[in-house]
Structure 1
Amino acid sequence: MKLSLIPILLAGSLSATLSFAITLEDTADNKCKVFKDGELYEIRNQSCEITLNDLTNNGLRWSDLALKSHINPLSNEIMAVTSINTYHYQLNGPKYGVMAQELEEIYPDLVETTSSGLKRVDYIGLSTLTLQALKEANEKIKQLERRIESIEQSN
């Protein structure tokens, strides 16, 4: 096995960020395991070459049960999620989203503050909460439909 610290320059339209990934090359199974920003990536190639796509996973996030701990189901998210303001704004073209400062008041773990003081949002995490709120709203609708049906049958 070989352990490496790899500098990675991620260039964006506004700035470039120098980041580091820790790799552990396991020659026995011909896989390279990369740990970056708390995420685990497996790259299957002989040279353990790492590309930007390997590290960003094209917007995908590891979600396998085997990688998780302290698992708790979400509940009662509908009030918090529906209190989040949504916007249409301009940032390198038209976009839809939320304001990080507002979201941080409700869900601080979904907002990260960079060293320059700018904030960014974990939209994947936010979509999970939105899904839970949708499920809760659907359950409320079903309850109200049953209640209406019961009232109609009693008349």
Structure 2
Amino acid sequence: MPGARTHWHRHPLGQTVFVTEGIGLCQRRGGPVEIIRPGDRVLCEAGEEHGHGVIGPTRSAALAYGPRGVRINAICPGTIATPMVDAMITNGELDRARAETGQAIERLGTAEEIAQAVLRPSSDGAGYVTGIAPPVDGGCTAR
């Protein structure tokens, strides 16, 4: 798929990608392209150069299905306070303070905030919106 991964990038605190729906691509610099599916978790260490595909497939699908009246969008969330994240904090897999300071607003997001970010571009009032993948990450990508 053309443009199926983002540009090469790094995160100073590392990044964990959780796949909850759909299929994506992930690659560490110099490594093989990995197909990631629901239930997969990809850990990118601090400073590790990598790319992952959400934006490219979203745009490709929007172009392919737009003529049929289907709009395709994605959300690129930050760390969200969910039962899964709570379990990771409890099990010592995630340090809450570190995760919060990785966000510009210094707190975890909520499921309700993600739901609101999904609803607007999906609404009838946003009928001209397709092929987008905005970050809903508390300003993490602004850093």
TM-score, L = length of structure 1: 0.22
More strand by proportion, 1 or 2?
A: 1
Whose relative contact order is higher, 1 or 2, with alpha carbons under 8 Å and at least 6 apart? 2
Structure with larger Rg: 1
More helix by proportion, 1 or 2?
A: 1
